[in-house]
Amino acid sequence: MATDDTQMQNGKNDSFANLYPSEFVVLTTLRKDGRAVPTTVWFTHNDGKIYITTSTTTGKIKRVRNNGRVYLAPSDRVGNVSGERVEGQAHEVPQSEHERVRQLFLAKYPQFAAMTGAGGPRSGERTYIEVVPL
């Protein structure tokens, strides 16, 4: 499951540690022309990596597929940033790992199952984004 909320991860400085206590982060992805697009999202973490979920057709996953450079900052649910922004490299999680990441979300957000299940407000085909620190 999720790691301890500490500055050290596997003997290394964990640059994402300031994000872990937050319920939300602002994920900033980049358009092809370089313009930044901030989006407030739920997230979880494991082994010094951040995970984000989204529908397979959203702009954020399209931008991550095109350019994996992202920025993350802790925030409230409406996107008011409450801490330092950190840079990361993002990629889409392979389908074979979706259930593992889904379980991380369920551990942090018990309501995730109802929201993303059949008929839920965020039902539909989902994917996951993994972010590693730069």
Nearest to 74 by CA among 133, 27, 112, 12: 27
122 band by pLDDT with thresholds 50, 70 and 90: low
Instruction: List the structure tokens of 129.
Output: 């984004």
Domain 8-133 has CATH 2.30.110.10: yes
Contact between 22 and 74 under an 8 Å Cβ cutoff? The reply is: yes
Q: How many CB atoms lie under 10 A from the CB of residue 91?
A: 12
Radius of gyration of the chain (CA): 14
Residues ≥6 apart with Cβ < 8 Å to 91: 64, 68, 129, 130
- At 14-46, the pLDDT tens digits run 899 999 999 999 999 999 999 999 999 999 999
Rounded to the nearest 10°, the torsion over CA 75, 106, 116, 84 is 10
**Model confidence over 61-110: pLDDT tens digits?**
999 999 999 999 999 999 999 999 999 999 999 999 998 999 999 999 88
The structure's pTM equals: 0.85
Name residue 34's amino acid. G
More confident call, 6 vs 50: 50
